[in-house]
Amino acid sequence: MEPRFAGMTFFATSHAGDVCGTNGLPLTPNSITIYGRSQILRTFSHPNLCMYLDIIRGKHERTMIVSEFYAQSLASVQDSISVPGIVKICHQTLKALSFINSFEIVHRCLAPDNILFDAQGNVKLFNYGLYFMTGKGADVSFPIGNPRYMAPEVFLVDSQIASSPKVDIWSLGIILAEQALGLGQVWSELKLAQLMRKVLSLINCNSDTSVFSRIAREHSCWTKYENLPQSLVHLINSCLQLNPSDRPTPKELLQFSIFKEYTLDDIQIGKFDRPDTLFENIHPLNSLPLQELYYLWRLAGGDVQSELKKQGLIRTMPPILSVPRLVLLEGSVLGKRRDQTSLLDLKIIPLSLDSLRNRLAPVPFSAYYPLIETKSDILNEEEECDAATLPLIIRERDTEYQFRRVVLFRRLLEGYPHTKASIVREARQDIPPLYRGRVWAALLEVEGDFESFYVETDKETPNHTDRQIEVDIPRCHQYDELLSSREGHRKFKRVLKAWVERNPQYVYWQGLDSLCAPFIYLNFNNEALAFACLSAFIPKYLHRFFLKDNSAVIREYLAKFTHIIAFHDPELSNHLQEIGFIPELFAIPWFLTMFSQVDIERCLSDSVAFYCCTPRSTTYRQHERCPGKISQKNKPYHPDLEMSAQSVAELQAESCPRISGADLLDLLDSSKFPRPKVLVVDVRNPELFHLGTAPGSINIPHSRFDLTQESPPLPACPEANILLQNRGKILVVAGQGDSPHAVQVAQVLLRNGLPKVCVLNRGIDVLQLANLLTKPTSS
Amino acid sequence: MTPSTEKTIERKFIFEFSAQTSNETYQFEVPIHIPFVGNINELSQRLITLFKVPVYIEKDLEAELKLFVEQETLSYLDNIAVDAIKRGQNGEVDVEEIIKNFERLFKEETAEYAAPRGSTDEELFATVYHKLVHSPALEAMLQVEHAYSIVVNEMTTQRDDELAALTERQGKEMSHLVSGIGDFSTEAEVNSLAARHCEDQNMVQAKINSQIDSLQETQRREYREWLMKLLEEQAEEASSVTPPTPSPTHIVRHITTEVSSKEKKKSSSDAKADVPSNPSMEESFTIHLGSQMKQMHNIRIMSADVLHLCKTHLSANGVKHMQPQRLQTALALYSNDLCGLVLLTDGLISSYSGTTKEFINVCQQSTEFHFPPIDDQLEKIREGVKETASWRQEHWGSENLSLSGQQWRRASSAGALRTGDVYVTRHSNLNEVHVVFHMVIDDSLRSSDMNSRHPAILGLRNVLKMACSNDVTTLTVPLLLAHHMTEEMTVAWCAKRAELVLKCVKGFMIEMASWGGSELKNLQFVVPEGISDEVFVSLAAMLPSVFRVSNPLVFKASSAPITPKTA
């Protein structure tokens, strides 16, 4: 397989000495600035542009770029190109330039070696992001551009001022002139200084001789020049206008009539129809989007840095040879030898796909097109990949497994929102990191025209939260180069401001930035999606947490948290109670940031386990987003069977959570749970108990507990032994109505170390509503 | 390049639209900065809200605004370019100057235009050495190096012995003569004797020193030639199956026999003095740094003579007992894991005293095979210091470091280094060190009230930054910023100083993490040898409190807590 992408590298300038930003924090290294800025390039998809696949930061401010690549470039084409061919190159290059111009990007180093051709002979513009990603050259020490093709004004204008899109047109003009006159290279015999002198001498050119004709005369190809079609000469002359205001932009040039004169589609440039390309084209890997190919290439052991090293592009001098001699207090360094290996060398190193091809050789062709909606009898049910049963960390690194997941998820995402159910089902298994951003968005049910919504949201007008945001963002998220880049900070600020703007009832609380971080990270090139995800996420998990006065919400939440601890871990609960360590002292940041500061992997698997064995109603909060789905089919419904709001003081007064009658009925349903998971402890008087109680319940009248003691023991009776024997079951303490006895007894059970104790809301009477009271079987 | 013109200009954007229901037209205008920064669609949305204009103009407004910004930006850039070209045409700017600048840029910064440059001798030798040292030849190489150093050591010892003997003899002669003043000698005679003695001393010293120099020169040449030969042999070996020629071994044997014969003569005399003194106390920790971006480092505190890290210890039975650290140091010499040491010195770079002088002696104990001899390196630095003086004069005005004028004045004459300045020497023949950072200090360090803005602390920051950008991944720092115990160093003084240095170094390390260089793997703090056990223990205890020690907390749910090995 031919390489499909290639790597190149350069160094950013490192900041000198002791410089600080205006906020007093150390300056962000230039390589990080470049890293953040260049991310947007990865979204560019245009038929005449090479796609940017990755930007990698190395040590000592090195930046490596991975980009789509084709072996054939205009510089390597040997045969002379026909006039229609030249027009085609021009046309497609202009389309590419016009596209990048619409993102305010200028190529600045347009030259024949940056014009590549794909197998069909179409122009693929290369390296068009260098000027943009380096902050118009400000973040690097080398000059950007090839002096042979640089427009005169590039030399003359202050380098701090951005180049206009028209400088590329000049370069294109020179390139076209070379091709039209059949020159290998203009002024090929001139040395660097002479070359620049030549270019700059053109500004003193007599205005009635065109630059193109001068070039033709100087290279003694006047006859050739005279024989060129007028429209082509006109085109090149327009490109080579000295005065930039006379020179058209790419967009304007595209309107020239010459492009209508020729049918450009079938023109071949160079020799491309080698026999093997036909075969190569059908290699199924080529059917994958380039990003997927690159993702898999890396999983299959591809390492850009070591590849560049192997090919000699990254050479390093032993550091001891370049140690400086003297460092002054002020931070200036003297006698540091310039490491010759740090010069700009824009060599392009193709990255071989062979190891990936070998790695995926056993994968059948059908795996490239998995069936999603239908089943087939002919194609046997996909044989699972070996890695499917292994831990997540291995699955995420397994090339073949990821290949299958990536292909599957791409197809599912293409069908979103129709495929929502399948996405949720598959995501339960795992999410391929490549598509995590979009999968999360699907899980959060982001749909509709969120882009326009975001554009309409005002993110500029200053408001009172700006200062806090400005302080929080730069000092947090240092752990990640993307989020700590200037571009990352900008996105943080915009998304947070948009959220505050769109949620006037809420305010920016510290911690909101931590919630925002994963969405910005995953959707770095799609702020609107990041915002839409954040907007969907917060009400789902942190409903009303960001109210200006959120104390009611938080206090209720923490009180419930205490209950849950008591329910699952009585020992811990008793200990915390003993030392008076209330969750207000430690847990608020956990909830405000959704545990973003802890080992989330572990946290997640634990919470799933806890969730499964916690009756829903024990976590009831009045400030929840929606109080559960009320109308469940075939279930008796009565308001008394459901939970009702309690004040924070009430919640805090009780040690154990309450369970709703509906949940108890559900747990008592013997068709669902043949082995009962619940034991009801009826604490009413024996008389009432014998009149009717919950099925399978035991009776320990509350009077048997000596509640005057500080920590009363369990009463000595056979029922207490039953309790201990049933340790681990959910123990529902039920009393008469809302009498306080049940709560007190529940607390005694808890203090005696029994787990999963809860109190039946509204007492045993609610069971009457479901006609479930039975006479206890005499023991 | 023209002087930068104003960075942005303001243009008025005027938008007109008609009401759907009547023929009235409305208009509004907004100032827009060119070049425009931001999103045009968002701007037009904001304008709609701001001017409370009907939403149906949305598309028109967007399109018109886009066109407006595009055209204004183009004409703004065009104007600048046209201006620049005009200036070029009428000679307002020197085109030749511009060409020269660009030529320099291209030649200095791009491989395409840079003067083709072969590898220097240094780089070539580095490659050869690095290759050989990671081959089976390693052992032979180290043995040869070791044997060579023993010979040099012999000679320096001999020099010192001879000088001592001479001094003794002269002393006797002198005292004899002095005692006879007025009796059998005159003052003039004493004076002339003193002069003669001095001359003799110098002569003997110069004679032996030049012998040593020429010996080292020979060794260096021989050794480098031998390595080249070794490499060739290895290459041949790899390509053909011819048996290796015996040359390397014979050199070794030759030298070793020579050495051992000499050694026998003196073995008994100073065997004791050669026993290396290990750090008397040490303790080490693994720590995590950074609240968000965690990094692991090894930290060690030890009480030792700093020069202990430099001296290669030749034990009496020399060849057989080469120190294992030498192996490590040789292997890492041209790697990306260098070892550095901060050595404190006074600002006088023309004459050396104290630890620096001792250090130079240590360097001269054996031949430097890779880098210029220490004298030459220091000479180069002296030249650099002159540059410094002029640099400082230039930048005097732009000084914004908050250092007291007093501190500046203390560094008296131009050309001297100031407190906090650091000069760097490179070494291949020291025990555990490749790079030595000589940091200039002064008496102000003796004071107990020193703060984090003290030049020595800033110098330490520069050292850490240099370490980070030059792949020095093991660094030794004198914790108390002193090499010897003095009387003002009370317990309280030590604690205060150690806390300051530890906290500052910690801060610098966190800062370094974002610089994108190599991270410091091992950080060693050394305190003077004579420190009392109690003080050392208290300083060692300070480490885990300042740095966060990473002792993993192991727990299992629902079972008794597992404590690490209860005794």
- Per residue in A523-533, pLDDT tens? 999 999 999 99
Which of A343-347, A430-434, A479-483, A547-551: highest mean pLDDT?
A430-434
Q: Please compute the mean of the pLDDT values over residues A664-685 and round it to a whole number.
A: 88
Give the model's pLDDT for residue B259. Answer: 45
The residue ranges of DSSP E strands in B407-541, in sequence order, are 422-426, 435-440, 472-478, 522-527
- Indicate if the pLDDT at residue A692 is higher than 90: no
Q: Please compute the mean of the pLDDT values over residues B216-227 and round it to a whole number.
A: 88
Report the range of poorest mean pLDDT among B58-62, B383-387, B477-481: B383-387
Alpha helices in A321-370 (DSSP H): 354-359
**Do B306 and B426 contact (CB within 8 A), yes or no?**
no
In degrees and rounded to multiples of 5, residue B93 shows phi and psi of -110, 150
- Indicate if the pLDDT at residue B363 is higher than 70: yes
Among A104, A250, A270, CA closest to A179? A270
Q: What percent of chain A is helix, strand and coil (3-state, nearest 5)?
A: 45, 10, 45
What are the C-alpha distances in Å from A597 to residues A534, A546, A562, A589?
Answer: 18, 19, 21, 9
Q: Please compute the mean of the pLDDT values over residues A662-677 and round it to a whole number.
A: 86
Contact call for B98 and A200, based on CB within 8 A? yes
Give the model's pLDDT for residue A239. Answer: 95
**Do B546 and B288 contact (CB within 8 A), yes or no?**
no
Q: Please compute the mean of the pLDDT values over residues A718-722 and round it to a whole number.
A: 88
What is the rounded radius of gyration, in angstroms, for the C-alpha atoms of chain B?
A: 35
Q: What are the tens digits of pLDDT across the range B86-112? A: 998 888 888 999 999 999 999 988 888
Give the model's pLDDT for residue B395. Answer: 64
Q: Please compute the mean of the pLDDT values over residues A311-325 and round it to a whole number.
A: 84
What is the C-alpha separation between A12 and A220, in angstroms, rounded?
42
Window A:147-176, CB contacts with B under 8 Å: 147, 152-153, 155-166
Nearest to B99 among A197, A242, A455 (CB): A197
Window A:26-65, CB contacts with B under 8 Å: 26, 28-29, 31-32, 57, 59-61
Of all residues in chain B, the percent with pLDDT exceeding 90 is 22
Nearest CA in chain B to A160: B4
Nearest CA in chain B to A335: B384
What is the C-alpha separation between A68 and A4, in angstroms, rounded?
6
ipTM of the complex: 0.83
Q: Chain B within 8 Å of A312 (Cβ-Cβ)? A: no
Nearest CA in chain B to A251: B70
What is the C-alpha separation between B302 and B527, in angstroms, rounded?
6
Contact call for B384 and A165, based on CB within 8 A? no
Quick one: which H or E segment has residue A296? helix A290-299
Among B160, B347, B485, B96, CA closest to A194? B96
If one compares B85 and B563, the residue with the highest pLDDT of the two is B85
Q: How far is A554 from chain B (nearest CA, A)?
A: 26
What is the C-alpha separation between A774 and A284, in angstroms, rounded?
68
Question: For residue B503, what are its two tokens?
Answer: 């906290």
Q: Which long-range contacts (CB under 8 A, 24 or more apart) does B348-355 make?
A: B348/B416, B349/B378, B349/B381, B349/B382, B349/B385, B349/B416, B349/B417, B349/B423, B350/B382, B354/B483, B355/B306, B355/B307, B355/B483
Q: What are the tens digits of pLDDT across the range A597-613? A: 667 777 888 888 899 88
Arithmetic mean of pLDDT over chain A: 87
Contact call for A327 and B434, based on CB within 8 A? no
Q: How far is B81 from chain A (nearest CA, A)?
A: 6
Nearest to A245 among B2, B78, B111 (CB): B78
Give the model's pLDDT for residue A15. Answer: 77
- Burial class of residue A455 in the structure, from the number of CB atoms within 10 Å of its CB (0-12 exposed, 13-18 middle, 19+ buried): buried
Give the model's pLDDT for residue B472. Answer: 93
Q: What are the tens digits of pLDDT across the range A359-381? A: 998 888 888 888 887 776 666 65
Q: What are the tens digits of pLDDT across the range A142-180? A: 999 999 999 999 999 988 889 999 999 999 999 999 999
What is the C-alpha separation between B106 and A131, in angstroms, rounded?
16
Which residue's structure tokens are 């050309």? B415
Residues of chain A in contact with residue B32, where contact means CB-CB under 8 angstroms, are: none
Nearest to A476 among B292, B424, B470 (CB): B292
Contact call for B336 and A316, based on CB within 8 A? yes
Nearest to B516 among A29, A320, A325 (CB): A29
Report the range of poorest mean pLDDT among A250-254, A438-442, B156-160: B156-160
Residues of chain A in contact with residue B336, where contact means CB-CB under 8 angstroms, are: 316, 318-319
Contact call for B466 and A476, based on CB within 8 A? no
Q: If you ran DSSP here, which 8-state letter would residue B452 be given?
A: T
Q: Chain B within 8 Å of A458 (Cβ-Cβ)? A: yes
Among A23, A104, A225, CA closest to B39? A104
Residues of chain A in contact with residue B422, where contact means CB-CB under 8 angstroms, are: 326-328
Contact call for B391 and A328, based on CB within 8 A? yes
Residues of chain A in contact with residue B84, where contact means CB-CB under 8 angstroms, are: 153, 156-158
**Do B341 and B436 contact (CB within 8 A), yes or no?**
yes
Nearest CA in chain A to B76: A164
pTM: 0.84
Contact call for B422 and A147, based on CB within 8 A? no
Q: Please compute the mean of the pLDDT values over residues A118-147 and round it to a whole number.
A: 93
Question: For residue A245, what are its two tokens?
Answer: 């205001």
Nearest CA in chain B to A26: B511
In degrees and rounded to multiples of 5, residue A224 shows phi and psi of -60, -45
Contact call for A319 and B466, based on CB within 8 A? no
Contact call for A345 and B111, based on CB within 8 A? yes
Give the model's pLDDT for residue B399. Answer: 47
Q: Which residues sit opposite A54 in a β-bridge? A: A66
Residues of chain A in contact with residue B383, where contact means CB-CB under 8 angstroms, are: none
If one compares B349 and B435, the residue with the highest pLDDT of the two is B435
Angle CA(A53)–CA(A54)–CA(A58) in degrees, nearest 5?
A: 160
Q: Chain B within 8 Å of A321 (Cβ-Cβ)? A: yes
Q: Please compute the mean of the pLDDT values over residues B470-486 and round it to a whole number.
A: 92
Among A327, A326, A328, A324, CA closest to A336? A324
- Indicate if the pLDDT at residue B296 is higher than 90: no
Among A179, A116, A138, A112, CA closest to A37? A138
Contact call for A161 and B5, based on CB within 8 A? yes
Q: Chain B within 8 Å of A193 (Cβ-Cβ)? A: yes
Contact call for A325 and B107, based on CB within 8 A? no
Q: What are the tens digits of pLDDT across the range B126-150? A: 888 888 888 888 888 888 888 888 8
Give the model's pLDDT for residue A378. Answer: 66
Give the model's pLDDT for residue B550. Answer: 58
Give the model's pLDDT for residue A1. Answer: 74
What is the rounded radius of gyration, in angstroms, for the C-alpha atoms of chain A?
A: 36
What is the C-alpha separation between B562 and A534, in angstroms, rounded?
41
- Indicate if the pLDDT at residue B524 is higher than 90: yes
Residues of chain B in contact with residue A317, where contact means CB-CB under 8 angstroms, are: 123
Q: Please compute the mean of the pLDDT values over residues B450-477 and round it to a whole number.
A: 91
- Indicate if the pLDDT at residue B424 is higher than 90: yes
If one compares B401 and A641, the residue with the highest pLDDT of the two is A641
Q: Chain B within 8 Å of A424 (Cβ-Cβ)? A: no
What is the C-alpha separation between B382 and B88, in angstroms, rounded?
45
Best B295, B383, B391, B424 member to test A by mutation, with max A CBs in 10 Å, is B424
Among A290, A410, A408, CA closest to A356? A290
Q: Which residues contact B233 (CB under 8 A, 6 or more apart)?
A: B244, B245, B247, B248
Q: What are the tens digits of pLDDT across the range B262-287? A: 444 444 444 444 444 566 788 888 88
**Do A168 and A97 contact (CB within 8 A), yes or no?**
yes
Contact call for A156 and B391, based on CB within 8 A? no
- Indicate if the pLDDT at residue B316 is higher than 60: no
Q: What are the tens digits of pLDDT across the range B33-43? A: 988 988 899 99
Give the model's pLDDT for residue A235. Answer: 94
Q: What are the tens digits of pLDDT across the range B322-344? A: 677 788 888 899 998 999 999 99
Report the range of poorest mean pLDDT among A116-125, A344-353, B229-238: B229-238
Q: Which residues contact A432 (CB under 8 A, 6 or more apart)?
A: A396, A402, A405, A406, A409, A439
Q: How confident is the model at residue A479 (pLDDT cuts 50, 70, 90)?
A: confident
Contact call for A161 and B434, based on CB within 8 A? no
Give the model's pLDDT for residue A117. Answer: 92
Q: Which residues contact A667 (CB under 8 A, 6 or more apart)?
A: A615, A673, A676, A677, A678, A730, A732
Give the model's pLDDT for residue B245. Answer: 42
How many beta-carbon pairs below 8 A join chains A and B? Answer: 240
Residues of chain B in contact with residue A14, where contact means CB-CB under 8 angstroms, are: 469, 515-516
Contact call for A326 and B384, based on CB within 8 A? yes
- Burial class of residue A552 in the structure, from the number of CB atoms within 10 Å of its CB (0-12 exposed, 13-18 middle, 19+ buried): middle
If one compares A627 and B531, the residue with the highest pLDDT of the two is B531
Of all residues in chain A, the percent with pLDDT exceeding 70 is 93
- Indicate if the pLDDT at residue A446 is higher than 50: yes
Nearest CA in chain B to A490: B38
Residues of chain B in contact with residue A458, where contact means CB-CB under 8 angstroms, are: 42, 45-46, 49
Contact call for A327 and B422, based on CB within 8 A? yes
What are the C-alpha distances in Å from B461 to residues A35, A252, B455, B505?
Answer: 27, 55, 10, 7
Give the model's pLDDT for residue A626. Answer: 66
Q: Chain B within 8 Å of A206 (Cβ-Cβ)? A: no
What is the C-alpha separation between B352 and A236, in angstroms, rounded?
71
Among B323, B507, B311, CA closest to B427? B311
Q: Please compute the mean of the pLDDT values over residues B201-208 and round it to a whole number.
A: 86
DSSP strand pairing (A62-68 vs B9-18):
unpaired
